[in-house]
Structure 1
Amino acid sequence: MTLQNDAENLSDSFVSGDEDNGGAPTSIRNINNEINGNWLSSSSNSIHEARLKAKAKRRLRKNSSRDSGRGDSLSDNGDAVRGTSAAPTSPKSKLLDRKSRLGKGRGLPKKGGAGGKGVWGRSGEVYEPEEVDVKDPNYDEAQENCVYETVVPPLEERDFEKTVTPIVQEYFEHGDTNEVAELLGELNLGPMRSGVPTLAVSLALEAKASHRELTSRLLADLCGPVLARSDVENAFDRLLRELPDLVLDTPGAPQLVGQFIARAVKDQILSKSYIEGYKGRVDCEHARAALDRAAVLLKMSMGGLRIDNLWGTGGGQRPVTQLIKEMNLLLKEYILSGDSKEAERCLRDLEVPHFYHEFVYEAIVMVLESKGEKTCKMILQLLKFLCESSIITVDQMRRGYERVYMDIAEINIDVPRAYFILEQFVDKSFSAGVIDEKLRDLCPCRGRKRFVSEGDGGRVKLESY
């Protein structure tokens, strides 16, 4: 204890000497008592130990503030003593630690775990609306009760066609009227609402019959949610005025527009008095033809004509039995007229290119069931014409012939000479370039059993016609 007190008094004397004399006596004393960094007297050793102890105490205070009093401590003789808890691992981990560093409390995270950079509060906490401070320099009395809403500007006429045309063309592909209603509902059509039926009918005039049927359904489904009956009437008024221009691109536009008017009246999106309102007021011959066509169809509907199926059901939406029946009628009409181009046009109107193999199948079966060379020659000429014009693809033609090969056994029950006629027709088809050599070699031939003379031992030989 005496040595420690002497060291403390001596250290205090050094500090006081430095403060009073600017450090001069201490430097002189150091020069006399230190040689090459070694203390000469015994008092110098005590000063050195006192400095080490003071340094250890400062380090202990620093660690204790971080570890909340649970770190290292010094014993009475100045040795460091380990506490019960481990020392901090690294300063970086301590920076990311949210626990309190004051040594107070239970060691829980600060702010209940809701602290940290960019954190407004704990999860699930709901903030109440802040009251407006009248003394705020940015306070504006006019904006206190404002309600903010998303406003869609009305669609301009120059952008109308560019926006609505892709919607109608996509509808021709998927046929979902609900999707069209949603897309049009997102637009602020404004006064351009009546332009939707006009644009849809104009696009349908240049499309197929199935697209016209889809257009009629679209107009019926849009009337109410998106369009009003007055919008539909204004649209058909505009179509009647634009008929002279529509005829230039579609010669049959007056008859088609008249059918659209009749279908709209039948679907109750046009009033029955719409056509009567034009009596005696029409100067354009095209508009008069359209109105006459609509009036005739409505009168025929009273006699049993179904206007709701005016355009028919195009494409793959038709039943298979109906498609087969129409193909047979097409072939019979061709046999009577011999017009290959008309048969091609009727086949295109069916809009089932994936089902043309059925047409090839029915044509070959008609040849097998015929009783003369005329039908065989005309059918072969038609198949060659359709193959050269790429109406019927090579794959569809091959599938049609293969189906006949598979069913020839059943056909032979009704037509005894079916195998022989089929072989002749296949050879002629190969000579005309309708099928290839591989498909010709697949043609089945009927085998027959024949007992030969007794010299052959009664064996059975398989021969073909």
Structure 2
Amino acid sequence: MAADCVAWLNAYPVDAEDLSDSFLSGEEENGGLAVHNKNISNEINSNWLSSTSNSIHEARLKAKAKRRLRKNSSRDSGRGDSLSDNGDVSRGISVAPTSPKSKLMDRKSRMRKGRGLPKKGGAGGKGVWGKTGEVYGPVVVDEKDPNYDEDQENCVYETVVPPLEERDFEKTVTPIVLEYFEHGDTNEVAELLSELNLGSMQSEVPSLAVSLALEAKASHRELTSRLLVDLCGTVLSHSDMATSFDKLLRDLPDLVLDTPGAPQLVGQFIARAVSDQILSKSYIDGYKGKVDCEYARAALDRAAVLLKMSLGGLRIDNHWGTGGGQRPVIQLIREMNLLLNEYILSGDSKEAERCLRDLEVPHFHHEFVYEAIVMVLESKGEKTFKKVLKLLSLFSASSIITVDQMKRGFERVYMDIAEINIDVPRAYFLLEQFVEKSFSLGIIGVKLRDQCPRWSRKRFVSEGDVGVVKFDRY
């Protein structure tokens, strides 16, 4: 056995350096090495144990592993092989680098304090407005500050609106006037104009409004007259009104090109302004013998005639008429009845169409259909029946009365037929005939025709006619 060990040591010599790389350190490494070598020599001379060869082999492997790790650089210390606590070699296990560079981007507290929350509750740092809901008190001015200026304490800051230039006047005021034609609220126009710094263009507002009204409808001219009354004294002065109408008389040759009836219309505006006390009563007299333009003379003559007629009892406070949206419902119903009666007498469908358009109530045309059908039910002859049927057919074909308004007018008659039948016993029978004729002419559709209410033909009579069923015949 000893001969085999000597042969093995000769084949695999063990250096003292290899044995010194064991886990011994300090005194053990200095003094224990001699003892260990002595023990080795003693064992070689005496009996060699099998466990000794295993321990030498393990020590050799550990020394080689240590040398391999010692050769690795510090930057690769986290990669590669490592030695575990029990001395085993572990491969592929990543170890955190020990380089101080790894702590450059570390934001953790070095003092090991805090819970990792942001500083100052998120209210600190560059570009931060402060905590949510934090209200700052008034800033106290430091009079000892070198940048302190005593004159700034007494400054009054106001919003200065630059005066409106002539080139921007029409672009700014025209939309305000056109919008007024839709809603008819003079207070809103006064607020919008007061926000503008009109300056020298203040007297141009009435002339611009009147020139826009000349090309609009009669109801818009009435709204313009009301606007001038409400603006005078608040936004505009009487002198501004006089200056504006003077400009209108000078511009009549140009206004006639777009509106041939401009002289008569301007004359009506002047008469209305004098009647509303916007212009003085001597305004027209001031032009006598001083006017060379024929259009201006026509306008002044028209105004003088209307003012003389007003002295005889004619009211000119509403001679333009009122738009449909501004009229009361009772007045609209009355005018529609007058329109129908005039058509039944004259048979002029074009005049009836013109009058209906002048009412400017397309949203209220269902009332016209309702009144026309009720007039047919209350009439006794076929003349009214045929004329109303012809008129509704004409209005439906030309889309003056829309399908929706026509349908709504018929449905209103269907709903009130029970009350109409109390005064007109033959109302159900006449309504069925009128609905059938309207369907044949394409005025209504199949669905509206089938909705027509029908009167039951049988009824039970008094106690003396027990069990007897009678049929009403018209």
Aligned residues: 369
Please point out which of 364, 381, 406 is paired with 1:355.
364
User: How many Å apart are 1:205 and its aligned residue?
Assistant: 1.6
Q: Does 1:224 align with 2:233?
A: yes
Give structure 1 stretches of 5+ with no counterpart.
1-33, 43-65, 68-86, 99-113
Contact 1:361-1:401 at 8 Å conserved across structures? yes
Query: Quick one: percent identity of the two aligned structures?
Result: 76
Partner of residue 109, structure 1: none
Residue identity in the other structure for 1:207: A
Please point out which of 20, 26, 47 is paired with 1:40.
26
Written as runs of structure 1 = structure 2, the 5 A alignment for 1:84-233 is 88-89=113-114, 93=117, 96=119, 123-129=135-141, 149-233=158-242
User: How many Å apart are 1:359 and its aligned residue?
Assistant: 0.6
Partner of residue 336, structure 1: 345
User: How many Å apart are 1:393 and its aligned residue?
Assistant: 0.9
Please give the alpha-carbon distance, in whole angstroms, between the structure 1 residues aligned to 2:316 and 2:337.
Answer: 25
Please give the alpha-carbon distance, in whole angstroms, between the structure 1 residues aligned to 2:420 and 2:26.
Answer: 130
Give structure 2 stretches of 5+ with no counterpart.
1-19, 29-109
Residue identity in the other structure for 1:301: S
Render the CA deviation track for 1:221-253: whole Å, top value 9, x for unaligned: 222232121111111111122223323333332
Please give the alpha-carbon distance, in whole angstroms, between the structure 2 residues aligned to 1:347 and 1:360.
Answer: 12
Render the CA deviation track for 1:166-210: whole Å, top value 9, x for unaligned: 111112222222222222222222211121111111111222222
Inter-CA distance 144–132: structure 2 relative to 1 (3 Å threshold): farther
Residue identity in the other structure for 1:188: N
Please give the alpha-carbon distance, in whole angstroms, between the structure 2 residues aligned to 1:248 and 1:297.
Answer: 25
Partner of residue 254, structure 2: 245
Render the CA deviation track for 1:348-386: whole Å, top value 9, x for unaligned: 111211211111111122222333332222211111111
Please give the alpha-carbon distance, in whole angstroms, between the structure 2 residues aligned to 1:177 and 1:155.
Answer: 21
Inter-CA distance 320–146: structure 2 relative to 1 (3 Å threshold): closer
Please give the alpha-carbon distance, in whole angstroms, between the structure 2 residues aligned to 1:458 and 1:116.
Answer: 101
Inter-CA distance 38–342: structure 2 relative to 1 (3 Å threshold): farther
Q: In terms of mean alpha carbon deviation, does 326-335 or 421-430 score higher?
A: 421-430
Partner of residue 381, structure 2: 372
Please give the alpha-carbon distance, in whole angstroms, between the structure 2 residues aligned to 1:347 and 1:164.
Answer: 32
Please point out which of 273, 278, 281 is paired with 1:272.
281
Inter-CA distance 339–242: structure 2 relative to 1 (3 Å threshold): farther
Render the CA deviation track for 1:58-115: whole Å, top value 9, x for unaligned: xxxxxxxx98xxxxxxxxxxxxxxxxxxx6235x54x7259xxxxxxxxxxxxxxx98
Partner of residue 422, structure 2: 413
| TM-score normalised according to structure 2 size | 0.67
Please give the alpha-carbon distance, in whole angstroms, between the structure 1 residues aligned to 2:321 and 2:142.
Answer: 64
Please point out which of 317, 335, 339 is paired with 2:326.
317
User: How many Å apart are 1:39 and its aligned residue?
Assistant: 6.3
User: How many Å apart are 1:283 and its aligned residue?
Assistant: 2.7
Residue identity in the other structure for 1:160: F
Residue identity in the other structure for 1:89: G
Partner of residue 442, structure 2: 433
Q: In terms of mean alpha carbon deviation, does 408-417 or 433-442 score higher?
A: 408-417
Residue identity in the other structure for 2:392: L
| TM-score normalised according to structure 1 size | 0.69
- State the structure with more CA Rg: 2
Partner of residue 393, structure 1: 402
Please give the alpha-carbon distance, in whole angstroms, between the structure 1 residues aligned to 2:264 and 2:410.
Answer: 40
SS at match of 2:267: helix
Please give the alpha-carbon distance, in whole angstroms, between the structure 2 residues aligned to 1:409 and 1:147.
Answer: 74
SS at match of 2:196: coil
Inter-CA distance 97–287: structure 2 relative to 1 (3 Å threshold): closer
Query: What is the RMSD of the two structures over their aligned residues, measured on CA atoms?
Result: 3.7
Please give the alpha-carbon distance, in whole angstroms, between the structure 1 residues aligned to 2:22 and 2:251.
Answer: 114
Written as runs of structure 1 = structure 2, the 5 A alignment for 1:5-24 is none
Please give the alpha-carbon distance, in whole angstroms, between the structure 2 residues aligned to 1:159 and 1:178.
Answer: 23
Render the CA deviation track for 1:232-286: whole Å, top value 9, x for unaligned: 1111111122223323333332222222212222222211111111122223333
